[in-house]
Amino acid sequence: MIPTRQKIDALWNTHNLPPLKRNHCMLVARLAVWFAQRLMAEGSVKEINIPLLEAAALLHDIDKMVPKLPHEQHPDAGVRILTAAGYPLIADLVKTHPLHAILDQNIAPRSIEQKLLYLSDKMVKHEIITVDQRFALWRSENLPATARDVLDRSYPLVKALETEVCGVLRVAPEDVAKLANTTETSTMNVSH
């Protein structure tokens, strides 16, 4: 089952997702859907479940303000919330989006929807940017050594995914933001 935009808004409200995170999620959804629509139009991918991808992108950070259980980290609480709400397919996508997932074969993004959600999240902060720009922002933060290690080990894999997707679309990563921001992408019938 895929939630309506109204149900997504209700989940955001219930779990106190802050406005900046809501904006981030909307941009990730815009980019993920743009990538999916372009890949299908190019004929390089025959089928992408765009409504599922869009809903997962809108909900991928649902747990940012939620108290975590002792064994949980982001996005474990989100996976728990989405599963309990009756959205296990969305939970399956969300669990593959954190930066460290690409390093763990148990949760690494494999399906096209998982890969597009993962990549789109790594190309958005408060606006759509490139993977290089996003990693530069992370590197400018005072990260603990373990987080910096994950960042350093994941970068070549994330960059390769950006290169692969942008290469198929014949678009430079630095042009993605301009193109994605000028195209209507939402599959949901509610304007925000």
Tokens describing residue 35: 């990538």
Let me know if residue 121 belongs to a domain. yes
The per-residue pLDDT for 191 is 41
d(CA 3, CA 139): 35
- DSSP-assigned letters across all residues of the chain: ----HHHHHHHHHHTT--HHHHHHHHHHHHHHHHHHHHHHHHTS-S---HHHHHHHHHHTTTTTTSPPPTT--TTHHHHHHHHHTT-HHHHHHHTT-SGGGGG-TTT---SHHHHHHHHHHHTBSSSB--HHHHHHHHHTS---HHHHHHHHHHHHHHHHHHHHHHHHHT--HHHHHHHHHTS----SS---
pLDDT of residue 151: 95
Residue 188 domain flag: no
As given in the structure block, the two tokens for residue 83 are 């599963």
Does residue 173 form part of some domain?
Answer: yes
Residue 52: closest CA among 107, 117, 122: 117
Domain count, the chain: 1
pLDDT number for residue 188: 58
- pLDDT tens-digit profile, the chain (192 residues): 899 999 999 999 999 999 999 999 999 999 999 999 999 998 888 899 999 999 999 999 999 999 889 988 889 999 999 999 999 999 999 999 999 999 999 999 999 999 999 999 999 999 999 999 999 999 999 999 999 999 999 999 999 999 999 999 999 999 998 887 776 666 654 444
Residue with tokens 């109204």: 6
Q: Is residue 192 part of a domain?
A: no
Judge whether 2 and 53 are in contact, CB under 8 Å.
no
- Residue span of the structural domain in which 79 resides: 5-181
In a domain, 189, yes or no: no
Task: Specify the CATH number for the domain of residue 132.
Answer: 1.10.3210
Decide if 187 is inside a domain. Answer: no
Q: Is 61 part of any domain?
A: yes
Q: What letter represents residue 65's amino acid?
A: M
Q: What is the pLDDT of residue 44?
A: 81
Rounded CA separation 141/98 (Å) = 17
Please report the pLDDT score of residue 190 as a whole number.
Answer: 42
Q: Are 37 and 176 in contact (CB under 8 A)?
A: no
The number of beta carbons lying within 10 Å of the beta carbon of residue 47 is 8
pLDDT at 192: 41
Quick: pLDDT tens for 130-186: 999 999 999 999 999 999 999 999 999 999 999 999 999 999 999 998 887 776 666
Partnered with residue 124 across adjacent β-strands are: 128
| pLDDT given at position 177 | 82
The reply to whether 162 falls in a domain is yes
